Amino acid sequence: MPPAQRMSAADVAKAIGVALIWGMGFVVAKGGTETFPPILMQAFRFVVTSAALVWFLPKPAGNMRWLLLATFIGATVQYALTFTGLSGLGAGVAALVVQTEVPFLVLLGAVLMGERPTRRKWAGIGIAFAGVAAITGIGHLQGSLTSVALVLGGAFTWALGQVLVRKLRGLNGLAVTGWIAVLAVPQLFLASFLFETGQRAAIIDAGPRVWFAVLYLGLVMQALGYAWWNALLIRHEVGQVAPFLLLLPIFSVLGGAFFLGAPLQPSRLIGGVIILAGVALITTDRRRALPPPTVIEPV
């Protein structure tokens, strides 16, 4: 394997920009889902992404079965769980819990793909989940425990979706992102119809905050964020780029405090620091790199 290419100042700025874009996505979505069904919002989000990317999509080249399965698990189920959970949590807490995507990815790699995590990675997994326990145990979340469970479920299905994406052949990151967006639209609208109510009234009464959230999630968070992320992964090892995502919950916490007036509770910050420490152990272990999370995001 050739030595890792040093990241330029422009690439470092782009990596920080991805963390900022995705971190602020939780803040924007939180502001929108307070008055709008969360699954329905994600459906409109992918309408926007599809409209932006559908013009550049190649034929699926025999990948449709895996695309449909990866979309259902890694997009429809994942976004439904994550953003329904977000409606019951602060943006910063949700962004911290979402960091468990990385430990889940390592675990699924070991169970489903025969990968052998190092002791350092196992330690990181344990520390990360101890952080989740700290947030739920000492944060006095009470009724929000269900929301934490939903976000954890979203993190797990994201990781499973990444395993399925690795089954795809002959499609680049932009093509996979576009196809998943196109396929997710009818699935998410159906999920909203089955599990949510009041959609018609919500659409009629939706104000500028909701539609700004939809545009931000679809164009900035999904299309632009992944364009930058994929470009970085093409030029650099995952181990070089992934640690920058540890900034994501920091931006979410600060953005939630500034824009939404969310309190900075010390107990939750302690749990968040523990989660980030565990994820840092995993993502900075260069002896065995994680599979690149190139197409389906957390946020």
| CA angle in degrees (0–180, nearest 5) for 7-21-197 | 145
Phi-psi map region of 170: left, alpha, beta (phi>0 left; psi -120 to 50 alpha): left
- Cα separation, 139 vs 156, in Å, equals 22
Mapped to the 3 state alphabet, what secondary structure does 116-140 carry?
A: CCCHHHHHHHHHHHHHHHHHHHHCC
Q: Which has the closest alpha carbon to 158: 82, 268, 265, 266?
A: 82
Residue 217 is predicted with a pLDDT of 93
pLDDT at 287: 57
Say what the pTM is: 0.80
Mean pLDDT, residues 127-154: 75
Please state, rounded to an integer, the average pLDDT across all residues of the chain: 82
What's the average model confidence in pLDDT over 156-171? 84
Least confident of 58-67, 141-150, 188-197: 141-150
CA distance 53 to 185: 13
CA 64, 155, 278, 294 dihedral sign is positive
Q: At residue 141, what is the residue type?
A: L
Question: Mean pLDDT across the stretch 133-151?
Answer: 71
Tens of pLDDT along 188-219?
A: 999 999 999 999 999 999 989 899 999 999 99
pLDDT value for 293: 44
Integer Cα distance of 256 and 268 in angstroms:
14
